Structure 1
Amino acid sequence: MSNTAITVTLDRERPADVRPHLIELERVTGTGVGQLLRRVIAGDFHANDLSETVRLALIGGGASPAEAATLARVYIAERPLTEGHGLATEILLAAWNGTKPAPAAAEPPSDYDAGEVILDDTSPNPMRVENDGSLTPVGSLTPAGAAIFEARRQQRAGIENADRARRDAVNAAWLADNEAE
């Protein structure tokens, strides 16, 4: 995979890379990639922005155009907008920032449970604690996500604002549970 490719989960895990198709993405969405990224992150996107981003990323990852169109229709266009929004954002951020190989497995502190998503001090992106204790990147943070993870970090560090950090952590858990449905 290139340094802008990611793995997305639709019907199964699939490689996705929109970088080779940015000119086509600009053509079909009617805007430049920078504006498209800002539009998607801000939530001011057109529905077509999401499905076309995913469709072209799947083609960039090796899917046939027909298969990519079907997957984008079934998993983006016909699903709640929040699902396509998160995926399109992740794809566009990978094209913008590039991707880094997963860091070497590190043993998380003992107060983290398997499956928990944390911010590790070695990465600006969230990491999932696996059953074997290794850390796996889970994508880029939105500004709201960054605030929630910072609140969790402050809570663990014993900062005075622990009550607010706990409230934010509860909200984050509720959001995570509802996004998983």
Structure 2
Amino acid sequence: MPSGEYQAAFGDGEHIFRLRIGELEELQEKCDAGPEFILQRIYSGAWLVADIRETIRLGLIGGGMPPTQALALRNRYCGEGALFTHKALASAILAAALMGSEGDEDEPPGEMKGETSPSPEDDGGSPASTKPAGSSGSTRKRLRRRTSGG
């Protein structure tokens, strides 16, 4: 599966979800927040209706579904009384977009693109570290540190 794709059951069957740059930009406009902030709102339970519904709709579009069909499917299965049940799906779609999907061939699991350990020559000959000092080793925390402030 290409980076950022997530496949899951929704409504009438299995669907591919993907948030590419265009969908992420539309999502942040609809939700008045950046994608990582939206993900944190969902995780914390402070989500807005649009955080769930728009993530699913745009994920379907990014996964290849025509916009009118994605809207109809979202409206049919993610309406009143069903939002909480789709919280996990919305967070998984966003997490795949921000951190990649399991099985992405272009990057080993748990490593960020461009992240390298210093060579022994660069640090006075001591062995190279596989984790930055003070890191918990969490990909999500490394992503947050790497993307914040710039």
Residue 2 in 1 paired to residue 2 in 2?
A: yes
- Runs (4 or more) in structure 1 with deviation over 4 Å come to none
Deviations 1:137-168 (A, max 9, x none): xxxxxxxxxxxxxxxxxxxxxxxxxxxxxxxx
User: Runs of 5+ in structure 1 lacking a partner?
Assistant: 103-122, 125-181
Supply the RMSD in Å over aligned alpha carbons: 1.9
Give the superposition deviation at 1:73.
1.1
| Matched residue SS, 1:77 | coil
Normalising by structure 2, what TM-score?
A: 0.64
- 8 A Cα contact 1:16 1:60, kept in partner: yes
User: Runs of 5+ in structure 2 lacking a partner?
Assistant: 111-150
| Matched residue SS, 2:102 | coil
Give the superposition deviation at 1:36.
0.8
Higher helix share: 1
Give the superposition deviation at 1:50.
0.4
2:41 to 29, 36, 39: 39
Closer/same/farther in 2, CA of residues 71 and 78 from structure 1, 3 Å limit: farther
The residue identity in structure 2 corresponding to 1:4 is: G
- 8 A Cα contact 1:47 1:77, kept in partner: no
- Count of residues in Structure 1 that have an aligned counterpart in Structure 2: 104
| Matched residue SS, 2:4 | coil
CA distance in 2, matches of 1:101, 1:79: 34
CA distance in 2, matches of 1:55, 1:8: 13
User: For residue 15 of structure 1, what is the aligned residue in structure 2?
Assistant: 16
Larger RCO (CA within 8 A; separation ≥ 6): 2
The residue identity in structure 2 corresponding to 1:13 is: E
Normalising by structure 1, what TM-score?
A: 0.53
- 8 A Cα contact 1:6 1:99, kept in partner: yes
CA distance in 2, matches of 1:79, 1:66: 22
2:27 to 16, 25, 28: 25
